[in-house]
Structure formats: C-alpha cells, structure tokens
Structure 1
Amino acid sequence: MLRLLIFLIFLADFSLCQDPKVTFEDYFQFGKNEYTERNWPDCVAFMKRAIDDFRQYQDDVVSCRRKCNRQIKPATSSSPKIAKFHETSETALCLLRCRKDMFGDHQSIKKMSVYHDLEERKPYQYMHICYYHQGELAMAVQSAYTFLVANPDDKDIKQSLNWYMNRDGYSDDMLIDMERKDHEAKFINGVEAYDQQDWGRCVNEFESALEKSIIQDEKCRLLCQDKIDWSVVDGNPEIDILLASMRASVIRCEHNCLYKLARINGHYVGHLFAAHFEYLHFCHFKMQRGAEAAQTVANYLLFDDSPLMRRNRYFYGKQYKKNELFTPSQEVLDIYRRRDLEARFLEFMEKRFVVKDGELPPEQADDRNPLSLDIHVEDNFPYEQIPSLMTSSECKILRSALDTRERDGFVKELEQRVKLWPNSSYSNVTCGSPVREAQCSRAIVFSAEHNDCGEWLGKWFNGCAVVFCDEKKIID
C-alpha cells in the first residue's frame, strides 16, 4: 500500500511537471509554498524546476527574435513611413506565430515581478535553506554563494554564508556559482593565466571571453525587447508619445546589458570590453605581438581614456613608431558606435522629458534637430607634448628634500601643464628606492630623476616622481 501511495505521488508530480500550462512562475510559487510548509525536498525540486523552465523560456524568446530578425527583409532608408510600418507588422506576425509554436496559449507572463525575481536568482535564496535542512551543506553553500554573486550587498545571505563557513565539513571548494556564464569563466581563466604569466593562454582565454561577452550582450539585448516601462502611460497619450517612451525603456535596457555582464564572480570590473583589453594588450606585448598590442590599446581607448592606458599608447608609440598600428578593429568600432548613439538618445530622453512642477524644460533648438550620427574615434591626445613637460632643472626642484617656496610654485605651474588631462589635480611628490603604487585609480606619474627626467611612468614606480590624479568619471 505504501509503495502504491509513493508511486501515485510521483505520478502526480511527473504529470504536473509535464503540463505546458505550468510555467516557471507557478513552479516558483510552488517552491515558496513548500518552503513555508518546511517540506524541504519539494522546495528544492520546485525551485530547480523554476530555474530550468525560466532558462528555457529565455532561450525560446531569444530564438524567436533571432529567427524573425533574420527572416524579415528590412525596409530601405529611403522607403516611405508606411513601408517601415509594414516591416514592423511582418515582424510582429512572425513573433506571434513563433511564440504560439513555442508556448501555445501561454505566451504572456502573468507577473513581471516574478520574471525579475528569477533574473535576480531569488530561488537560490530559498534553496540554500532547504538544502541545509536536508543535511546537504555543499549544496546549501553553492546556493547561497550563487545568490550572493548577483546580490553582493545582501546582508542576510552574507550572514548565512559566514555561518556555513564555520560548520564542520565546509570547504572553499563549495564556493561555486551555479549561474556562472561562459564569458565569466573565460575571463576568470584569463586573469589566472595573466597572474601566472602564461601569456599564450592569457591571450586565448581573453579573446574567447570577449567573443562570448559579445554573444551574451546580444542575447541580453534580445531579451530587452519586451522590457517596456508601462508606468509612463497615463490616460490616452498620442501614439508618438507612447512610442517614444516605450522605445526609450527598451533602449535603456539594451544599453545596460554590459553593466549586468560586467559583474564577474560578484565583482564589477568596469566597462566590460575595456577590462578585456586591459589584460590583452600586455599579454600580446609579452608575446612580442606589437601590432596586436597596439590595436588592443586603441580598442580600449574607445571606451575609456584612462591615463594609464594612454601611457601604454605613448610607450608603444615610441617602440613601434607606426601610428597606423593604433587603429581599432572594425567589430569594436561598430560596438562603440552603437553604444555612443544609444547614449546620445538616452541623454536626450532623460533631460528633455523631465517633468518638474508639472512643466517640461524650456524649448531648445536641439529639440527639433535630428540625432547627430557623427562618431569621432580619432585619438587626438597630444602625446608629442609629453617630453617637454619638464626640464632637468625643474626635476631637480622636485627632488629637493625641503618643501621650498620655489618647489611649491613650480608644482602649481606644472599642474597647469598637466591640464592635457582637464580633470587632473596634483597629488604628491615622492622619493625613495622601494617600488610604490600611486594612490589613485587614474594616476598620471612623471619621473623627477636626473637620468630620465619627465619620463611618463606607470602606476607602479620607484625613485623620485610627481603624481597627479585624473578625477574624470567614466559613464558609458
């Protein structure tokens, strides 16, 4: 009798899992219900099913959108508006048919809040407790860590993970992110190869990581096409007002994809593509691939004009003596152009559509101008001025053991010369034989030594040097 009862329960659960009407939204709620009932095995089972179904849903949505983007022939730029409207209609019809094939009669999400919960890895917030109550410490740690990676400021999960770390049987090997993407794994491998000075592997891993990052960015962008902020719809607005707000919310989601992807193992690495190039240029240089190192520096400088990378550009320029080597790759130029145009569009929407005290901003001439499509990628930094920033006698003033009036006066003058970086400011003059690190993230360091006066140094240096800090905020 007991075996029959167990079989019937299994059969009911299996039937539920096969029911196409049951989606990740339902499984997530079932899991929460079992958590409340302290039914730990079913809590885990339903949460895992919710995660799997959510991944499948996203993959199916991306597949439909790729298919329709590929099949629908775009209207030409010179086509009348009605032709572009027709293109949109064809795309809509294609998507409706594809989604019908994929999801049947259950194409829409009932609550977007549940979708966001799955994106933010909320099932793992429950699963780590359910696993622990089943006596599965390793899976509890993995679940807690997986949630922490996406929610690094969550105090409760930090406290839980610290508690697990003090249990008998805990091992650091349990700290596994079960949602780690391919581009993250490759990036982490690349950093490991860099630290081990395995330059060939470093290049291979980072180039693969970059390729996978581009693929993930495309997938994220496709998933943004239904991320519409309906809160802006008030009353019965004009269709152009409605469309402008809808497009802005989608483009904002697309533009933010790189920010989401740039959280590697729970740590934000800055601009994701620039982070790849920061490692790649040095690994290429160590393998004596001058052309690749130069192009990688040029790729980096599209996204961030870091003084430290400009110093590398200056160093490579003196070594290779071919300015044409510092030309960004076409693929990276295309990515930069798209992001730059998106940023211009979003800036216009965010500044010109702000309602304060019931009023829009005063009308400006730019309100009626087309979006500027001019993209400037030339590196116009005056590298040739660097050797003349300081003279030998001025370096001697900086090496003075006392803070004399003459030295203070020269520092003020030098600060004006260093306004090649408009946001730079003086930090300090330091002397000593040990290797030291400049105490600002965007450091501009020049040697004050007699034998290499005025030489542009890196962030790590020894001897006498003067340090400036570039306070520019990089927003992309």
Structure 2
Amino acid sequence: MAARVLGLLAALLAVAAAASRAEVESEAGWDTVEPDLLFAEGTAAYARGDWAGVVLSMERALRSRAALRALRLRCRTQCAADLPWELDPDSPPSLAQASGAAALHDLRFFGSLLRRAACLRRCLGPPAAHSLSEEVELEFRKRSPYNYLQVAYFKINKLEKAVAAAHTFFVGNPEHIEMQQNLDYYQTMSGVKEDDFKDLEAKPHMHEFRLGVRLYSEEEPMEAVPHLETALQEYFVADEECRALCEGPYDYDGYNYLEYNADLFQAITDHYIQVLSCKQNCVTELASHPSREKPFEDFLPSHYNYLQFAYYNIGNYTQAIECAKTYLLFFPDDEVMKQNLAYYAAMLGEEQASSIGPRESAQEYRRRSLLEKELLFFAYDVFGIPFVDPDSWTPEEVIPKRLQEKQKSERETAVRISQEIGNLMKEIETLVEEKTKESLDVSRLTREGGPLLYEGISLTMNSKLLNGSQRVVMDGVISDDECQELQRLTNAAATSGDGYRGHTSPHTPSEKFYGVTVFKALKLGQEGKVPLQSAHLYYNVTEKVRRVMESYFRLDSPLYFSYSHLVCRTAIEEAQAERKDSSHPVHVDNCILNAETLVCVKEPPAYTFRDYSAILYLNGDFDGGNFYFTELDAKTVTAEVQPQCGRAVGFSSGTENPHGVKAVTRGQRCAIRTGESGWCCRHLFLEGPCFVSSFPESHCQWLTRERNTGLGTRSPSAMPPYRHCLMLHVTVLTFGVAKMGSDAELRVPPWKEMSPEPLRKYRHHPLGSSC
C-alpha cells in the first residue's frame, strides 16, 4: 500500500514539473499586445484624429479579445476531453476501510485535477495570466470599439464598413439617439445597400431563432423549420462555450480577498459554486438580445414549442411528437402540449408514437442542469451562498424543504414591504410636490427683479401680476424710431416663410409670415442690399434683450442665444370671416405639450435645449395678436399681453409657461423672437454620422473667429462681448445651439475637420420661430 502511495506521489511531482516547464513553452503563439492596451491606443488615436490608427488599433483590439476568448475555449474544451476526471468507479471508502484506501481515493481525484491544470497551463501559455479590467471589459460588452470605428471608417472613405460598425454599435445600444441619427443619415447616402446594415457581433443561435420565429409568424413553417433547428444546434454550441468561459479565476468581490480565510475544501467549494452559478447564468446570457429589455422567457424549451407546431403544419408527425415530448421534459404538466401530443399520436398511430422519445440532447441538458441546481441549492441552504434559478421549469423537489419555506417567507415579506414602501412613497411624493411648488414659486419670485441695465426701460408686469412664475413684461426697450427702422428692415430683407422651411402660413392659413435672421440681415447689409446700420441695430437689439433678461432673472449662469428671428405676421383680409383659430396655438418652447393629459415631453422637434424665451414687439397698429399665457390644459388663460412698440415679454421656456398668440385679424404684427440657453458652443448640431465627443474651447473660439471673419468683422471689439461666443449668436441663428444633456457633449461630423465648409451643414430648427 505504501509503495502505491509513493508511486502516486511521484506521478504528481512529475505533473507539477511538466506544468512549470509549460510556463515557457506555450502552445498559443499569442500576439503579445493585450486587448486593453490596443483599445487605449485606439482611443488615443481618435483624440489625435489619426483615423488609420483608430482602425488599426480597434480592429486589433477586437481580434485580440476574440482570439483570447477562442484560446480559452479551445484549451478548456480540449483538456476536459483529453483528461476527464478519473475517479474510483467503486463507492468512496467507508470508515471501516484502511486510511490508506481513503488517501488513494483523494489522490486519484487531485491527480486528475493537477493533470487538467497542467494541460491548461501548457495550452494557454502566458495569456492565461492576463484578464481585462472590469471597465475595459464593459467597453467591449457595450460594443464601444464600433462607435470609434464607424467614424474612422467614414473618415477614410470605407463607407460599407462604417455602416456595418454603426449598425453593430446601435444593435447593442438601441437607446443611443445619435447613432440612430447616423444610421438614418447613412440610409440617405448613395452607394449604401440594405445588406451593409449588418450586426458584426450577432450571435448565430439568436439570429437563427429570430429568423425562424419571424417565418413561423408569417405562416411559413417549411422555411421556419431549418432555421429553428439550426438555432437549436447553435444554442448548444454557444452553451458549451459560455460554460467553458465560466472556469476562470475566483472573483473575490472587491477587497474581500484581504479577509478571505478558508481551508482547502471551503476554498474549493467557494470557487466551484461560483463557477456553477456562472454556468447556470448562461441560460440568461443566451436568451438575451440587446433589442429586448428582458431575456426571452423559457428560451430553450420555446424552440421545441415552435418546432412541434411547425412540423405539424408541414405534416411531419414523427418530428412533431419528438418535439412535443421534448417540451414536456421541461413542462410535464402543460395541458395544451399534452393535447397536441395525443392528437399527433392519433394521427401517426399509437404504437409508432410510443416508440418516439424526447431528444437525447435535451435529456442530457436537463439532467446536467438539475444536478447543478441541486448543488447550488444545497450550497444556498448550508453555506448561505445565494443562487437565483434562471429557469421556471425547475421541479420543486430539487429545492430543499427548508429553503422552500425560507424563500416563501421572504417572498411574502418582500411583497408586504414593497406595498408599504409604495404607499409611503406616494404620500412623500405628494408632500414633496406641494412643498416644491410652493418653495419654487417663492424662490423665483424673490430671485427675479434684478436691474434692467439700460436707461428708459421700465418694469410693467412681473410674475405675480402675470399670475405665474419666471414671467416679465418691460416697456421702453427700444425707441419708436428704432421700431420703425427695424420694420423697414423687415420689409426690405424678410422673405416669405423664412424660418419655417418655406411655409408661408405655418401656423394658420389666415396669416402670412415673413422673417429674417440676424445673420441674413448682416449679410445683406454687407452686400449693400439693406442699410448695414439697420442690420447692426437688429444685432445690437437682440443682444440688449439677452442682457436685460439675464440680469432681471438673476441667473447663476450666463445666457447664450439659441435662436433669433425678426418675423412679421400679416392678416390675409379675405380669410378672416368667421375665423376661430389662433395665430399660434398654445405650446411650450422646450417640450411637446399634450394638453389632454397635461404632460409635456422633452423631445424634438421642441427646442429641448432652450431655457428662456423673449419677444420684443415693434408695433401695435393691428387688430388681435395678443400674447397670452395658459395653464397646461392650454385653455385656462392666466395672463394676456398686448403688443406695442418697445414692449418685451420674457419667460422661462418650460412647462410653467405654456403660451400662444391670438389671431391677427387686421394689419401686420412684427416682433423679434429670441431664445436663450444656458449652454454655449459645446452643443452644436451637425448633420451626418457622428461620434459623441467633448467640444474643445479652441473650436468654440474658432467658430467665433471664422464667423466674424466671414462678416468682415475681424476685431472682437467691434461687436458686443459674448464670453467666448462673440458671434455665436449670429452663428447659431442659422445653425442652432442645442443642449444635448447635462454632460455637455458635441456630435462632431466625421467627414471633415473644423473648417468653413461643415459650418454650412448646421441645421435649422424644424419649428422656426414662434410667438
């Protein structure tokens, strides 16, 4: 006996020696550059504008990660096949047996374990020691490399690859608005084919399953069957791969390793249970698709459900019975499937039907899964290691009785607590809403009322008199002479439908709209088509309104123009009979108002980026056309303002200030409408595919300089100061400033660097001006 033990020990030492040699004799032939380093190189190349470098590094990063994954799969699969566990086929030794026999049993187990480890070490080589950080792994899971690649491909004129990369990223990030806009843009480009929109990270089993289900739903069972069968085959392949990748290092969950203190068998148990839990989670992993919020429920059994009915529809009762019986392996009490099976058996013949059994692959899968669940539930019950079963088909008897009772009690407690918390939260929300409304109204009333800055301007109505919050009416903002000069400018420079995409009557068929932007007026002034002095007056007046509003409302951050428009609306004389519509219906500037539900949704085409709005009136010699505020129902009028020369009305652009304009029934009503945002150059819309990136202040200053140069105004002192956005007001008139969110990011066009050409590609806001 002692000789046998010594022989086994000698064998184990030989295995250990072979393992140490394997450290320098890797079979992998591995590319020494690791995926995370390549990813970092790619992001650095993007920041430099080195598009070829982006493509090279990101493509290598994707290949490197895929190769590392493939190597681990190959090694773990091959070593498991070559070195299965060599346990004693007889039962484990009893206490009555000699201690030497028990030692031999343990040595056989650990001998198999060491040989498997040596095989893996030899196969994997140096890459076995490398693992991606959680942050970089998350970037790959989010498909971030494709976000960089789609821009880089576009830059180097590889359109087909750019489309595929953009589509791949969007499939993994379906809520990414900018990438959706990129794809919409690609679809309008010549040379782009439907086949170019492909998911480079598509899982074969999921692709085939979704295709099979679509054909099944279109009542094409003959075409659906091969795809569903292929989906099953690919599922089992993907399942084996997913399970093999679970056999990695132990996850200590943060800094727990500093306190981790376990003996041999406890350490083995902890790691093995973690691996088993990961393998069970492959059910969820394989049933997930980026386009769905939740995984497909009962994903594997559903294949057999689709197949049994598809086979029935094409008259293949043998396969229909096999798939029905396979489905019943997972859900033996499903009455509908039992009825289907009885019908198929009657059609085929009871004797022949009885000889058909469930598919062997499904039986093996189920047996293995149930054994794993038993171990996991045992560990949960005894060691307190949590396990959440991903399957709904697990028989109740697999779960220990004590754990069943504990889970039942926990569920009941959770439901009760959830209900109590829900009720409490509703009460708190109601109280908070009431208090917030009160405090907000008070704070706004106390904050507004800052200096009006210019002599001659007087406060006519504040928020209190206007029955709301963040509202003001001022008079004397400009003189009668200035009003008349700006009206003359309108008649000379304005064009029908300007600011409304050419629609001459955008809000009502009973009025015509004529408008001109500051930029257009200045350009016409430069060309000698209108007095340059009048164009400069237009510019200076809008800046004056901005400064007054910023001061009066005592804003913590400066305002920048997001839109300015001098617009006149003229009543069409023959269209006024029995008129009941408005000149401009009630709306909210920065969200889309649904007056019936009292909800306002912040999404385009509303000016979602706008914070404040102001209207400066140029005349009052017309009938109708009063500006008015309402409640969210768009019916209850809270205040009304009658236009006159030099009067300005200002207000915050949110849900607190729905507003509209009453019908102009005679004459012409002229006003300058401005919209201001608390965000400057860092939010500029550009057309075409794009990548979310910070917009450097140097580019902001560049926009200012280039636009100034284009207007013949080379000296910054020639215009009012704009805090790094000297002429942003003019730039934005045609091109729009957008508040894309709290993170202040810009979508940069991939086809050009910052130069005069892409500036012409900025968008008009689809709504034009209003009020």
1:66 aligns with 2:93: no
The structure in which a higher percent of residues are strand is 2
Render the CA deviation track for 1:221-259: whole Å, top value 9, x for unaligned.
Answer: 111110532225433222222222211221122112232
Q: 2:108 corresponds to which residue?
A: 83
Higher Cα Rg, which structure: 2
Find 1:109's aligned residue among 130, 141, 163: 130
1:270 aligns with 2:297: yes
Matches within 5 A, 1:44-443: 44-76=55-87, 77=89, 78=91, 80-100=105-125, 105-113=126-134, 114-134=136-156, 138-152=160-174, 155=175, 157-166=176-185, 168-169=188-189, 172-195=194-217, 197-226=219-248, 228-231=250-253, 233=257, 234-263=259-288, 266-267=291-292, 268-304=295-331, 309-310=337-338, 312-313=340-341, 315-316=343-344, 319=347, 322=350, 324=354, 327-350=357-380, 352-354=382-384
Render the CA deviation track for 1:319-378: whole Å, top value 9, x for unaligned.
Answer: 55737367422221110111122223333434554489xxxxxxxxxxxxxx999xxxxx
- Which range is displaced more, 285-294 or 185-194? 185-194
**Residue 202 of structure 2: SS of its match in structure 1?**
coil
Cα gap change, 1:162 to 1:343, in 2 (>3 Å): farther
How far residue 275 of structure 1 moved from its aligned partner, in angstroms, is 2.6
Q: Could you tell me how far apart the structure 1 residues matched to 2:178 and 2:373 are?
A: 39
Q: Could you tell me how far apart the structure 2 residues matched to 1:272 and 1:130 are?
A: 38
**Residue 179 of structure 1: SS of its match in structure 2?**
coil
Q: Could you tell me how far apart the structure 2 residues matched to 1:166 and 1:189 are?
A: 27
Greater RCO structure (CA 8 Å; 6+ sep): 2
Q: Could you tell me how far apart the structure 1 residues matched to 2:380 and 2:151 are?
A: 42
How far residue 188 of structure 1 moved from its aligned partner, in angstroms, is 3.7
**Residue 74 of structure 1: SS of its match in structure 2?**
coil
Q: Which runs of 5+ in 2 are unaligned?
A: 1-28, 93-104, 387-397, 401-771
Q: Could you tell me how far apart the structure 1 residues matched to 2:367 and 2:385 are?
A: 30
Identity %: 24
Q: Could you tell me how far apart the structure 1 residues matched to 2:381 and 2:178 are?
A: 41
How far residue 262 of structure 1 moved from its aligned partner, in angstroms, is 2.0
Contact 1:297–1:326 (8 Å) recurs in 2: no
Q: Could you tell me how far apart the structure 2 residues matched to 1:60 and 1:340 are?
A: 29
Q: Could you tell me how far apart the structure 2 residues matched to 1:123 and 1:308 are?
A: 47
How far residue 49 of structure 1 moved from its aligned partner, in angstroms, is 0.9
How far residue 23 of structure 1 moved from its aligned partner, in angstroms, is 2.1
- Which range is displaced more, 51-60 or 345-354? 345-354
Find 2:40's aligned residue among 29, 37, 41: 29
CA RMSD of aligned residues (A): 3.2
Render the CA deviation track for 1:140-186: whole Å, top value 9, x for unaligned.
Answer: 4422332343445xx3x244224431453266544311112332343
Q: Could you tell me how far apart the structure 1 residues matched to 2:79 and 2:319 are?
A: 37
How far residue 71 of structure 1 moved from its aligned partner, in angstroms, is 1.8
Cα gap change, 1:284 to 1:325, in 2 (>3 Å): farther
Contact 2:167–2:183 (8 Å) recurs in 1: no
Cα gap change, 1:372 to 1:184, in 2 (>3 Å): closer
Cα gap change, 1:196 to 1:137, in 2 (>3 Å): same
Q: Could you tell me how far apart the structure 2 residues matched to 1:300 and 1:158 are?
A: 40
Q: Could you tell me how far apart the structure 1 residues matched to 2:132 and 2:185 are?
A: 39
Letter in structure 1 aligned against 2:324: V
**Residue 129 of structure 2: SS of its match in structure 1?**
coil
Render the CA deviation track for 1:454-474: whole Å, top value 9, x for unaligned.
Answer: xxxxxxxxxxxxxxxxxxxxx
**Residue 263 of structure 1: SS of its match in structure 2?**
coil
How far residue 120 of structure 1 moved from its aligned partner, in angstroms, is 4.3
Render the CA deviation track for 1:278-322: whole Å, top value 9, x for unaligned.
Answer: 221112112222222122012123334666545534554665573
Cα gap change, 1:265 to 1:118, in 2 (>3 Å): closer
Q: Which runs of 5+ in 1 are unaligned?
A: 1-17, 357-370, 374-476
Letter in structure 2 aligned against 1:338: R
Q: Could you tell me how far apart the structure 2 residues matched to 1:142 and 1:294 are?
A: 42
Letter in structure 2 aligned against 1:25: D
Q: Could you tell me how far apart the structure 1 residues matched to 2:131 and 2:242 are?
A: 21
Contact 2:173–2:290 (8 Å) recurs in 1: no
Letter in structure 1 aligned against 2:48: E
Letter in structure 2 aligned against 1:241: Q
The structure in which a higher percent of residues are helix is 1
Q: Could you tell me how far apart the structure 2 residues matched to 1:325 and 1:264 are?
A: 38
- Which range is displaced more, 253-262 or 213-222? 253-262
